[in-house]
Amino acid sequence: MAAPSSNTCGLTERSIRERVPPLLTDLYQVTMAYAYWRTGRHQEPAVFELFFRNNPFGGGFTLFAGMQDCLLFLRSFHFTDEDVEFLRSVLPPATDPAFFQFLRGLDCSGVTLRAIPEGTVVFARVPLMEVAGPLAVVQLLETSLLCLVNYASLVCSNAARFRLAAGPKRKLLELGLRRAQGPDGGLTASRYTHIGGFDFTSNVQAGFQYGVPVAGTMAHSYVTSFTSLEEVLPKTLVAVNGDSTPVDIILLTKGWLSRVCELLGSQPGKIHEGELAAFLSYAIAYPQNFLPVIDSFSVGCSGLLNFCAVALALCELDYKPLGVRLDSGDLCRQSLEVRRVFRLCSKHFCVSAFDSLTIVGTNNITEQSMAELNEKENEIDVVGVGTHLVTCTQQPSLGCVYKVMLF
């Protein structure tokens, strides 16, 4: 696990002001604040409760998340001169100028937040947070607090449902950044799906800022960017232990490829040389972290054979290959075939490293298809989930509300 950078607590605190400026709110919060102020009710003590009315996804529970950001937001809440000047331009010209003075001096020093601990299982209609303070101030906080809790809790709960569907053994990888509602949606997803039970994220910033373990190796574009073994550079690798003479890894791999083809009765002519070159280049760069995506052309006729050849060459040099990723087609069926070949190689070539190779599956996984993995025979160790996790396709909003309890 990557620990968060030592400076990232400060980073999170600094960035809240950028992410959630006090103007990031519905205009009616400001117009209401003025109306309260005009009536002299702005300092009246008030209590609002934040809750939701139904568990999401037709389920029986929700995980509460977003509270840390709410606290940081409250701590940073104040209007700058620039903010106030903008509000002056938006509110009617007859608005009393003293109101803008009042806004300029506002902060949350008079506000008390009581909340359920972050990550707790919660249920419908139970207050997640109770916000008490001067009426005008707690009113001005509504939209921002809802925005910070709604999606965080939704995506955290969605992650927990994927976790439950996956069972305790399978590792889960979140990779939804490119499909989220913009940069902050992606970062929020990576952060709270980890709390919800995901093991890793592909999102590097989530590792940097929140210490979520990050994972990832290569995309199809990497594989298809190679066309021939000529492109492999350097062409040698030094064994882990012992002899420091560079070994011609291409030659070594070619030898293993022939043996693998022979073992499996495969046709060497169907093997894609560019893919082999990509795998080799990657293995030379990361001899201890070799986990290529093997379905760029054909898993059975090319990707799996190329993987085995390169991995066997690495094993011969005492490196330990990690595994493969499948990103298309019937993941269950393919994982069985991949595992069968791994076992065959392990036995035939006496390489025990092939007994513990990881198979990663990533292909438009939904909560339902995750659950089906428990019913269908398969050998997938790690599942990557993107779109359906971060967009919460089944129900893309939680619907928290912020209701006044007491004036």
Residue ranges in 86-145 that form contacts with a second copy under rule CB under 8 A = 86-87, 89-90, 92, 94, 135, 139, 142-144
Radius of gyration of the chain (CA): 27
Q: Which one among 12, 23, 111, 320 touches a second copy, defined by CB under 8 A?
A: 23
Q: How far apart are CA 407 and CA 405, in angstroms?
A: 7
Contact 179, 387 (CB under 8 A): yes
Report the distance separating Cα 119 and Cα 58, nearest Å. Answer: 20
- In the complex, what is the shortest distance from the CB of residue 32 to a second copy, in angstroms, rounded to a whole number? 5
Site for a second copy in 60-89 (CB under 8 A): 82-83, 85-87, 89
Regarding 385 and contact with a second copy (CB under 8 A), the answer is no
Residue 301 CB, shortest distance to a second copy, in Å, is 23
Q: Does position 171 bind a second copy by CB under 8 A? A: no
**Cα–Cα distance measured from residue 168 to residue 165, given in angstroms and rounded to the nearest whole number:** 9
58 lies in the site for a second copy, by CB under 8 A = no
- The DSSP code sequence of 319-335 is ----EEEE-SS-HHHHH
The Cα–Cα gap between 276 and 235 comes to 13
Rule CB under 8 A: say whether 397 interacts with a second copy.
yes
CB atoms under 10 Å from CB of 110, counted, come to: 13
To 10 degrees, the CA torsion angle through 19, 21, 24, 27? 180
Interface positions, 287-306, toward a second copy (CB under 8 A): 287-289
* 380 contacts a second copy (rule: CB under 8 A): no
Among 43, 54, 217, 346, binds a second copy (CB under 8 A): 217
Query: Segment contacting a second copy (CB under 8 A): 258-266, 281-289, 298-306, 365-373?
Result: 281-289
Which residue, 107 or 231, is less far from a second copy as judged by CB? 231
Among 67, 187, 360, 380, binds a second copy (CB under 8 A): 187
Alpha-carbon distances of 204 from 50, 212, 293, rounded to whole Å: 32, 9, 20
Q: Of 151 and 307, which CB lies nearer to a second copy in the complex structure?
A: 151
Smallest distance from a second copy to CB 20, Å = 5
- Residue type, position 266, single letter: S
Among 13, 38, 126, 347, which residue sits at the site for a second copy (rule: CB under 8 A)? Answer: 38
Residue 115: strand, helix, or coil: strand
Q: Is the peptide bond before 56 cis (omega within 30 degrees of 0)?
A: no
Among 59, 119, 216, 300, binds a second copy (CB under 8 A): 216
The only residue of 63, 180, 359, 385 in contact with a second copy, by rule CB under 8 A: 180
CA distance 45 to 405: 11
Closest CA to 153 of 202, 117, 114: 117
Q: Which residues does residue 50 pair with via DSSP β-bridges, in sequence order? A: 129, 402
Q: How far is the CB of 130 from a second copy (least distance, A)?
A: 15
- Judged by CB under 8 A, the number of residues near a second copy is 104
Using CB under 8 A, pick the residue from 157, 158, 193, 203 that binds a second copy.
203
